Amino acid sequence: MSMTPRERVLAAMRMEKLDRPPVAVFTQSATIGQMDALGVSWPDAHSDAKLMAKLGAGQATVLGFEAVRSAFCLTAEAERLGCKVDPGKKNSTPMLKEHPFKFDPMESVYDEPNIMDPEEFIKGGRPAVVIEATRLMAEQYGKEYAVIAGNTGPFTLAGHMVSTENLVFGIIMEPDEVVKWVDAVTPVLKTYSQALADAGADIIQMSEPSSSTDLLSPDMFGDYSGRFVKECLAGTKGAYSILHICGDTSAILDGMIDTSVTGLSIEEKVDSAEAVKHVNGRVPLVGNIGVVKPLLQGTPEECAADAKRVAAAGFNVVAPGCGLSAMIPNENLMAVVKAVKG
Amino acid sequence: MSAEIDALIDIVITGKIKEAKGATQKCLDAGISAKDIVFDALSKAMEVVGEKYAAKEYFLPQVLLSANTLYQGLNLVLPLLAGEGAESKGTVVIGVVEGDVHDIGKNIVKAMLTGLGLTMHDMGKDVPIKDMLQKAKDEKANIIAESTLMTPTLAGMKDMENFLKEEGLKGKIFTMVGGGATSKEFADQIGADGWTYDAVEASHFAAKLLGI
Ligand code: B12
């Protein structure tokens, strides 16, 4: 079958029958190996659209994956909304330094969410950089490769603004205040997702790590995260959407599907075959090669074997189960590509 | 065990946060010592909470609620412990290593160790290893407890072992490591004194280490 990598990835989004699944990194994709090969590195690439486009394309141009992806962190939106961020180093992602709003369930003190106008939000700061990088990537690589744009989910972003722990604690102490905050950040994410699609992204990949079952019980997912994810993405025109959640998502797969995103990205804590069986063709699955074992700590042979295992289980896109650690060696990633592409 | 203690245990486990102070006061009024309140009620209750969390019967919000309920009682009795002449069972410096902001697990470990009657110095998250070590020296700590959930930051834990060796403090200040990125093998490899899977085990381990 002669198809471009882009056609293959998009066909996988529609769950079309393929001779083999595409192989692509849907979550954070940059590594030291790509930085060295391209002469572009963190932290510069977080805030310069040209550098972001070049490094974000590295998974395809350096390693042979079948997509390119903009944004390398989950702090761009929070920074735009007033969080202080340490840009990190070549091998470490940006970090939030503080939460600008008070949300204290013990003292019952809750700041009012005072969130920027969505149109204003996408005009400046790093969201504007990511939008521009996405536009450049679509222009330079979009014929050949699927263009993925990554952003942050609403419960996670609200946690960035007020402290994740306090937000989670708030679910028991003052659920209305939690809902108020998640609701308040939703409009900017909705507008941002559409702006990324308009810039040329084929796929919006939203990461929502803070609604992992490590933090929320499965029955809390819909009320505090899922329905807002839906609000952010369901109306997005011109792009597919993929929801990524870390941890063991077995118990919330249905809730994730209920957000009406196109597909799900899940990590290695979920048994691959079980996930395929449970999802049963309702949506495409992206994942779930282990990021630490084998990608970071294993051998190329182990990485290849894990990629084959995921493909055999029936995942629609063979991909790392979560964002790449920058230290993952080229050989391991190339072994994954080779195992799938042959 | 007395009815007052049982009531307090139940309050912490079920997270009846507003009733915790009153129930602790009732224990004191019934003549129960601060020490017994800490060990027979608060500490025991938190252990049950940890077990429920491990069994996925409780999720994080409930654990945070119980931990905060525990602190309500603890704040009342901790000042009395000194008066009773009950010495602190030991001193712990705890923190999340530099480069990592994941601090929820660390906070739960802190709650468990506090429940054990240890004096805790919480350095927060993203803490330079040298700062943690300095604090441990300043406070004459028995244990340094380090947490990280991220692989790149594991290196900091190894640095800690090296610094301790260089300064001849290895074996004088114990180290405990934990958090998602760590493992028993990793802890053995760097020479840390202890590793545990979760916060309940962490408190058992600390108790053993300090002979409590
Ligand atoms: C919530 C979360 C976040 C929140 C954190 C909020 C907070 N204040 O903590 C936010 C959204 C901010 C976040 C950010 C990021 N995250 Co995050 N996050 C998670 C998540 C989903 C859950 C972590 C959690 O709180 N678990 C619940 C607690 C209770 O469990 P625990 O910490 O393990 O603690 C228990 C035990 O480990 C033990 N324990 C803990 N500490 C200690 C210490 C001692 C001494 C002992 C004995 C025991 C012990 O006891 C605890 C209780 O039983 C995990 C995924 C996962 N499944 O773990 C990813 C995860 C940790 N995150 C990850 C990543 C990559 C990131 C980001 C880089 C993402 C990005 N690209 O921006 C940033 C990191 C920024 C930075 N530099 O730190 C990766 C780390 C990968 C790796 N191995 O390196 C994970 C594993 C997800 C994944 N699968 O890739 N994250």
Q: pLDDT tens, position by position, for chain B (212 residues)?
A: 699 999 999 999 999 999 999 999 999 999 999 888 988 898 889 889 989 998 989 999 999 999 999 989 988 988 887 667 666 789 999 999 999 999 989 988 998 898 888 999 999 999 999 999 999 999 999 999 999 999 889 999 999 999 999 999 999 999 999 998 899 999 999 999 999 999 889 999 999 999 88
Architecture of the domain whose range is A5-341: Alpha-Beta Barrel (3.20)
B40 and B115 housed in the same domain: no
- Look at strands B174-178 and B143-147 and give their pairing: parallel
- Taking alpha carbons only, the member of A337, A231, A238, A250 closest to residue A289 is A337
B23 and B55 housed in the same domain: yes
Q: Among B83, B103, B127, identify where a domain stops.
A: B83
Q: What's the whole-model pTM score?
A: 0.92
Residues of chain A with pLDDT under 50: none
B101 and B202 housed in the same domain: yes
B61 contacts A216? CB cut-off 8 A = yes
A214 contacts B99? CB cut-off 8 A = no
Q: Are A83 and A158 in contact (CB under 8 A)?
A: no
Residue A338 CA to ligand 1 center (angstroms) comes to 31
Distance from CA of B78 to the nearest CA of A (A): 19
CATH number at residue B64: 1.10.1240.10
Q: Are B58 and B198 in contact (CB under 8 A)?
A: no
Q: ∠ CA A64-A65-A67 to the nearest 5 degrees?
A: 130
Between the CA of residue A271 and those of A57, A248, A268, A335, B180, what are the distances in Å? Answer: 30, 9, 7, 22, 18
B121 and B163 housed in the same domain: yes
Strand, helix or coil for residue A151? strand
> In chain A, what are the domain boundaries?
5-341
Residue B180 CA to ligand 1 center (angstroms) comes to 7
Q: Among B54, B83, B112, identify where a domain stops.
A: B83
B104 contacts A168? CB cut-off 8 A = yes
| Token pair for A228 | 């807002």
Total structural domains within chain B: 2
- pLDDT score at A45: 98
| CA distance linking residue B41 with residue B20, whole number of Å | 11
B61 and B122 housed in the same domain: no
Q: Are A301 and A4 in contact (CB under 8 A)?
A: no
- pLDDT score at A182: 98
Between the CA of residue A95 and those of A26, A30, A160, B19, B102, what are the distances in Å? Answer: 21, 16, 10, 38, 10
Residues on chain A touching B127 (C-beta within 8 angstroms): none
Report H helices in B39-195. Answer: 43-54, 60-83, 104-115, 129-138, 154-166, 184-190
Q: Are A318 and A26 in contact (CB under 8 A)?
A: no
Q: Is the ipTM reported for this complex over the cut 0.90?
A: no
| Token pair for B121 | 């110095």
Distance from CA of B172 to the nearest CA of A (A): 32
Residues on chain A touching B59 (C-beta within 8 angstroms): 213, 215-217, 220
B211: number of Cβ within 10 Å: 7
For B78, residues 6+ apart whose C-beta sits below 8 A from its C-beta are B34, B38
| CA distance linking residue A217 with residue B34, whole number of Å | 35
- Nearest beta carbon to residue B65 from set A96, A169, A327: A169
For A83, residues 6+ apart whose C-beta sits below 8 A from its C-beta are A75, A96, A97, A98, A99, A100, A160, A161
> Which run of H or of E encompasses B21?
helix B20-29
User: Which amino acid, A54?
Assistant: K
Query: Of all protein residues, whose CA lies closest to atom 7 belonging to ligand 1?
Result: B102
- Taking alpha carbons only, the member of A338, A340, A342 closest to residue A63 is A338
Structural domain of residue B15, as residue ranges? 3-83
Distance from CA of A200 to the nearest CA of B (A): 33
- Taking alpha carbons only, the member of A145, A139, A140 closest to residue A10 is A145
B199 and B98 housed in the same domain: yes
Residues in contact with ligand 1 (CB, 6 Å cut-off): A 28, 73-74, 93, 95, 156, 164-165, 209-210, 212, 214-215, 246-247, 267, 291-292, 322-323, 325; B 60, 99-106, 108-109, 145-147, 149-151, 176-181, 196, 198-199, 202
A215 touches chain B (CB under 8 A): yes
- pLDDT score at B80: 84
Phi, psi for B96 (deg, rounded to 5): -95, 130
